[in-house]
Amino acid sequence: MSKPKVLIITGYGVNCEAESAHAWKLAGAEPELVHLNDLLDHPERLETYQAMMFIGGFSYGDHMTSGHVFALRVKHHMQAQLQQFIDDGKLIMGICNGFQVMTKMGLLPGLDGNYFEPTVSLMQNDCGTFQNFWVDIRFEDASPCVFTKGLGTMPLPIRHGEGKIFTLDAGLVEKIEALGCVAARYVDAGNEPTQEFPENPNGSLNAIAGLTDPTGRIFGMMPHPEAYLFPENHPNWDKQKLDGELPEQGLGLKLFTNAVDFMNRH
């Protein structure tokens, strides 16, 4: 069986291509790095991939809010190809800056089949500053998300200044919750969603760390699973080892293997 091909878009200040590509490789896919300009010159290239990923970093220096300019360029140059990609049942993942790009474009939460009109935003952390540490993320069983199925709760690193999910539309939040579009939440030591800093690093609405569209195939979140591919990535790995609790693999890898399993089955 040939390996599923995954497009990783690079350039203009995104910076997680090496670890993101490595994650897909470890999971059994074939990642390909393509510069944004090369993709926009040939948007028809998109159809040769089974999945695409918007990676972390600081696209366009987070000008006019993070992810905004990158999102506009993609939307204005290849909306038709992206819509086709979605209609073909393929996978899209966005991590951190990639999640910001996806919400700014409208890909998430992507309700009612509308993927190109933004409805929620990621705004500045409540604490007002960039934060960089590990948090506990609970992946919601009730969510249809392909990437996060069955993963429970795991520690993952966050590093962002604009991670707070926000909307003024209370009806929209209800709908997002009802459809299981909240795939990941910040939780406290009791595994309960929390608004408290630092467990919730940004004050995100309903402790939302990640969203999926209603199909479960389009997913983005602020924490970085590609930065937890090896057990030793965890800041307390030596203690975990002494206690016999060191996992065999970095837990973040599971999101990628879930996606590859899905692609191999479809």
Residues forming contacts to ligand GLN in the complex (CB under 6 A) are: 56-58, 62, 66, 96-97, 100, 130, 159-163
Taking the complex as a whole, how short is the minimal distance between the CB of residue 82 and ligand GLN, in angstroms?
Answer: 21
Count of CB atoms situated within 10 Å of the CB of 129: 9
* CA pair distance 181, 183, nearest whole angstrom: 6
Long-range CB contacts (within 8 A, 24+) of 23-27: 23/225, 23/226, 23/229, 23/252, 23/253, 23/256, 24/53, 24/256, 24/260, 26/229, 26/253, 26/256, 27/253, 27/256, 27/257, 27/259, 27/260
Among 19, 181, 226, 234, the active-site one is 226
**Bridge partners of 52?**
7, 92
- Identity of the residue, 66 or 143, whose beta carbon is nearer to ligand GLN in the bound complex: 66
Helices (DSSP H) in the chain: which residue ranges?
17-27, 36-41, 68-87, 97-105, 170-178, 237-242, 253-265
Taking the complex as a whole, how short is the minimal distance between the CB of residue 167 and ligand GLN, in angstroms?
Answer: 18
Taking the complex as a whole, how short is the minimal distance between the CB of residue 62 and ligand GLN, in angstroms?
Answer: 5
Taking the complex as a whole, how short is the minimal distance between the CB of residue 191 and ligand GLN, in angstroms?
Answer: 25
Taking the complex as a whole, how short is the minimal distance between the CB of residue 57 and ligand GLN, in angstroms?
Answer: 5
* CA pair distance 166, 110, nearest whole angstrom: 15
Cβ distance 117 to 187 under 8 Å? no
- Identity of the residue, 93 or 263, whose beta carbon is nearer to ligand GLN in the bound complex: 93
- Identity of the residue, 50 or 97, whose beta carbon is nearer to ligand GLN in the bound complex: 97
Among 16, 68, 96, 181, the active-site one is 96
End-to-end CA distance of the chain: 12
Instruction: Tell me, yes or no, if 16 is annotated catalytic.
Output: no
Instruction: Tell me, yes or no, if 160 is annotated catalytic.
Output: no
Instruction: Tell me, yes or no, if 226 is annotated catalytic.
Output: yes
- Identity of the residue, 48 or 129, whose beta carbon is nearer to ligand GLN in the bound complex: 129
Among 68, 160, 224, 234, the active-site one is 224
- Identity of the residue, 19 or 136, whose beta carbon is nearer to ligand GLN in the bound complex: 19
Enzyme catalytic residues: 96, 224, 226
